[in-house]
Amino acid sequence: MLPPVTAPPSKGRNKRPLAEPRIGVGCIVMRGDEVLIVRERGRWSLPKGGLEVGELIQDGARRETYEETGLIVELRELAFMVEFQAETWGHHLQFFYACREVGGTLGPRDPDRDVQEAKFVPVRHLREYLRFRPRLVALESWLRDKRPKHFVFDLDKEPAMLKKRTRVETGVGRVGRRSAHSKLTPQDPDLERLTFEAGEDELP
């Protein structure tokens, strides 16, 4: 038997503080080839939100989905984790679950009234709505492979947003000729480096 290993004493001046990422939780809800999205403060996203103190991650995912969409869901499996950091936003770790709709009525019940709309859209039209690259890359990967993955992005060094080339509210056109199966890379011409301006520091 090997002798127990004793950790060396840490020196206060060299000890780095523990990371405290903000934890986010959300769900992917499908109806056939359509996926559920929400419009929150004018931006489209998957149903998601921050984990509350004392709340388990899976409970938070169910709660956020109900509050933002009005649907009661059953969690099936972890779809993906998205981790990203930026000087303006800080460090975030988000968990998204594949879910099955089991009840409720479609319509936001957000107590903060930040969510204006919830609806299902065809997978092939996702890029007309979702612009935040970390979640879009992760979602498209899961839709293609149906395997859980952990995605990491440094948004101070790589693009964060898909360029807005189509006004979704008009219902006209698509973003380029891309499908949900084409890959988004940092060199993609449809990506732009995120610029932070006054009033633009909230997460998409």
Q: Let me know if residue 27 belongs to a domain.
A: yes
Q: How many percent of the chain have pLDDT more than 90?
A: 65
- Mean pLDDT, residues 141-156 taken together: 96
Instruction: Report the predicted TM-score, pTM, of the whole model to 2 decimal places.
Output: 0.79
Dihedral angle sign, alpha carbons of residues 50, 53, 58, 62 = negative
Number of domains into which the chain is organized: 1
The amino acid at residue 87 is E
- Tell me which amino acid residue 86 is: A
Alpha-helical (H) ranges within 27-185 are 57-69, 133-145
For residue 38, give the nearest of 124, 93, 109 by alpha carbon.
Answer: 109
19-55 confidence digits (pLDDT tens): 889 999 999 999 999 999 999 999 999 999 999 999 9
Give the max Cα distance, the chain: 71
Q: How far is CA 82 from the centre of its chain?
A: 7
Residue 199 domain-assigned (yes or no): no
Inter-residue contact 103 to 130 (CB < 8 Å): no
34 lies in some domain: yes
Rounded average pLDDT over 77-82: 98
CATH number at residue 150: 3.90.79.10
Indicate whether 1 belongs to any domain: no
- The answer to the question of residue 6 being in a domain is no
Q: What range defines the domain where residue 101 resides?
A: 20-192
Six token digits for residue 72: 């009661």
CA–CA separation, 37 and 68 (whole Å): 9
Sign of the Cα pseudo-torsion (171, 176, 178, 184, in order): negative
Note the pLDDT tens digit of each residue in 106-141. 999 988 889 999 999 999 999 999 999 999 999 999
Residue 197 counted as domain residue: no
For 27-41, 151-165, 176-190, which range has the lowest pLDDT when averaged over its residues?
A: 176-190
User: Is 13 within the bounds of a domain?
Assistant: no
CB 48 within 8 A of CB 117: no
Residue 7 lies in a domain: no
